[in-house]
Structure 1
């Protein structure tokens, strides 16, 4: 059996440190409230969950192989991609679109899309690198990137719809880190 880097001792301290940093940032900007702290904590828990499920397992003693870099890389979009995987990736990234929009100073379609795409691309690159350097067990897939971005954009669209419901406008504003939107 292969020895693995344990997930929780890595991800929990990372999430805790990030939570403290975000809460301090809100405090320094005099924007710290319970709803905004909830967004910060949700963002940290969300990212920790994504990291735990996309980067790990990392093996410490996996037998070395000489697989080509493209052995853990899928660059052909849509072909052979399962509908269940697409729906899962969309669903997993809907919350990120909402959380990013609440945290950005001036959320807009290009900004939210760029942040979501940047995070998704980072995940895919880390999966590729860990597969070849640390014995990671994932494949970097252009389809994951595509459907992650679709999910993030749908999350932002959902937030925009909720902001236009008169009874919810004030509620959404309380969670927003900065007043107003583009």
Structure 2
């Protein structure tokens, strides 16, 4: 039996520490409010969930793959529609959260954040999959559809922001 790094004892304390750091950050800038704390909590829970489901399992004693590095670099080759939809849906929250956190958010900032976050995930999957016997494979298609999902989330956010009553509500949650 392979020894596995437990997900929750790793992810939950890290997310809690980041949540407390975000509250401290808001407090230090005299911006702490219940709606902004809710955004910090949503960000931490979301990020923890994504990390738990994309990086783990990580094994301590499973032999690394003997083959060359397993990574999919050809866009849209043998990529299933269900995987594309799932990756888009998982990253829609990025497109909703970035405009709440960043002043003057734009689609290109959302693309940059989503691409950086997704690239970090894919690189972590590459390392864990090849050195720690992890269960995921790095795939350029995941990165592509993650970014598409974030842009869709930003489009939804932008559309909702044009409704006056919703815009007033959204502004209570903005950090800047």
Using the size of structure 1 for normalisation, the TM-score is: 0.94
C-alpha displacement of 1:105 = 2.3
Matches within 5 A, 1:65-76: 65-69=65-69, 71=70, 73-76=71-74
Matches within 5 A, 1:25-44: 25-44=25-44
Range with bigger deviation, 105-114 or 87-96: 105-114
- Cα distance in structure 2, aligned partners of 1:17 and 1:164: 35
Unaligned 5+ segments in structure 2 are: none
Q: How many equivalent residue pairs?
A: 176
- Cα distance in structure 2, aligned partners of 1:160 and 1:11: 31
Matches within 5 A, 1:39-118: 39-69=39-69, 71=70, 73-118=71-116
String of CA shifts for 1:68-127, please: whole Å, max 9, x gaps: 11x2x0011112100000000101110111012211122111111101110000000000
Q: Which ranges of 4 or more aligned residues in structure 1 deviate by more than 4 Å?
A: none
Unaligned 5+ segments in structure 1 are: none
C-alpha displacement of 1:64 = 3.9
- Cα distance in structure 2, aligned partners of 1:166 and 1:100: 20
Contact 2:15 2:44 in 1 (8 A): yes
Q: CA RMSD in A?
A: 0.9
Using the size of structure 2 for normalisation, the TM-score is: 0.97
Contact 2:90 2:146 in 1 (8 A): yes
